[in-house]
A and B are shown apart, each in its own frame.
Chain A
């Protein structure tokens, strides 16, 4: 119980854990979808505090990690163009493309800028009318409203030198794909809280019903995660499979209607390739045709992208919960945050990065990973 004193309220953590232990009668495997939750779980050792046989399977909810390699290579090619200022969230800088990353493009003289918000990129476009300003619009449903509003503003204000390279991904189709997989071991889901802050909870009861799995909307703080786990196990033990909201302080059932209206105006659903996983039908958003002139993919012709994924990297299996990061032979050897083979090793939401930061010394001591 070495980690308990790091919780904001150790007594409450203790009580939640006691309840989890009291209610659990057999092994269960559940998936936290969101990479932010994965980091919280590994950092606080939540998985090590659970009853024997209760396993947390880490899900694909790291948007940086699942952005397709072809899109990363396209971003790098666009960022290299002399007329372009390429704006991105900082998390994207070290994501490996086939040959290099945005950080390298910047160090070689490309104008790559990290922004806090896509609206900052729009301001860069206003300030640099003789340049093409491209924003790398990735992320789940949480991030999409910001990118949608930015494109909407660009059109409304007539900022023609702005465009968006879009690679949005959606949680519910990913849950369906995970459950359809023949190797699926997931018996319950912690759904990503802030995705539901935007989208509400209506998409999840049909999934819980169709696949017979409890889905519990869960926050990101350690106590929230313990509560999400507790509620999932209670449902499993009672043979129930329902949508429950364990994060009501930030998730009203209806989500954010204004954001959802903007999303349906600016984006349309598309099939999306997830890096390491493959194509999941209907699992992404792209710009709707009426916003096509702001689509960087159409504005900049990039020919001859030949993707070259590391043959050693098994991040696809990590993202699908088929292996834990340290079970990849390259973990901590050929692949480290300094020299990553896959995006999961550098993203602040990547499972490999979490294991490297918080578990590597334990794993080395246990002989499971070489030093």
Chain B
């Protein structure tokens, strides 16, 4: 749950008075709150935890980390369906 996933900022916009961004995580696109890193620009990489960018990251590190997480199945765990995962663990239909 403390996993934070690097992603690339595709677009920055305002929503309800808060700076938000569209972020790409190796093909998965999510809306992310940029309020804690408001200076971040399009094309930069950020580390995102539960929908919030918490730090910037250089591109090379971000790409390496994403490849590692993909290989370990952590992206599916982070962005997959929580009920399906829980049902699988319990051994029942979701």
Do A and B originate from a single complex? yes
Query: How far, in angstroms, from A194 to B46 measured CA to CA in the complex?
Result: 12
Query: How far, in angstroms, from A157 to B15 measured CA to CA in the complex?
Result: 12
With an 8 A cutoff between CB atoms, is A140 at the interface?
Answer: yes
B36 touches A349 (CB 8 A): no
With an 8 A cutoff between CB atoms, is A306 at the interface?
Answer: no
Contact residues, B41-82 vs A (CB, 8 A):
47, 49-52, 54-55, 57-58, 61, 64-65, 67-68, 71-72, 77, 79, 81-82
Mask for B31-46, Cβ within 8 A of A = 1, else 0?
Answer: 0010111100000000
Query: How far, in angstroms, from A93 to B87 measured CA to CA in the complex?
Result: 9
- Number of B residues near A (Cβ < 8 Å) is 40
B-contacting 9-mer, from A236-244, A245-253, A307-315, A362-370: A245-253
- Interface of B, secondary structure class, is mixed
With an 8 A cutoff between CB atoms, is A146 at the interface?
Answer: yes
- Number of A residues near B (Cβ < 8 Å) is 54
A195 touches B2 (CB 8 A): yes
Residues of A within 8 A of B17 (CB): 156
B82 touches A93 (CB 8 A): yes
A197 touches B1 (CB 8 A): no
Contact residues, A199-255 vs B (CB, 8 A):
220-222, 249-252
B83 touches A106 (CB 8 A): yes
Residues of B within 8 A of A35 (CB): 1-2
With an 8 A cutoff between CB atoms, is A61 at the interface?
Answer: yes
Contact residues, A106-138 vs B (CB, 8 A):
106, 114, 116-120
Q: A117-B50, A146-B51 are in contact. Are A349 and B91 (CB under 8 A)?
A: no
Highest count of chain A CB atoms <10 Å: which of B50, B68, B85:
B50
Q: Which of B3, B68, B83 contacts A93 (CB 8 A)?
A: B83
Q: Which residues of A contact B (CB under 8 A)?
A: 8, 34-36, 43, 61-64, 89-91, 93-94, 103, 106, 114, 116-120, 139-140, 142-143, 145-146, 149, 153, 156-157, 192, 194-195, 197-198, 220-222, 249-252, 256, 258-259, 262, 337-338, 346-349
Given A146-B33, A259-B36, list of 12 further CB < 8 A pairs? A90-B82, A91-B82, A94-B86, A94-B90, A103-B83, A103-B90, A139-B1, A142-B49, A143-B50, A220-B3, A249-B58, A258-B37
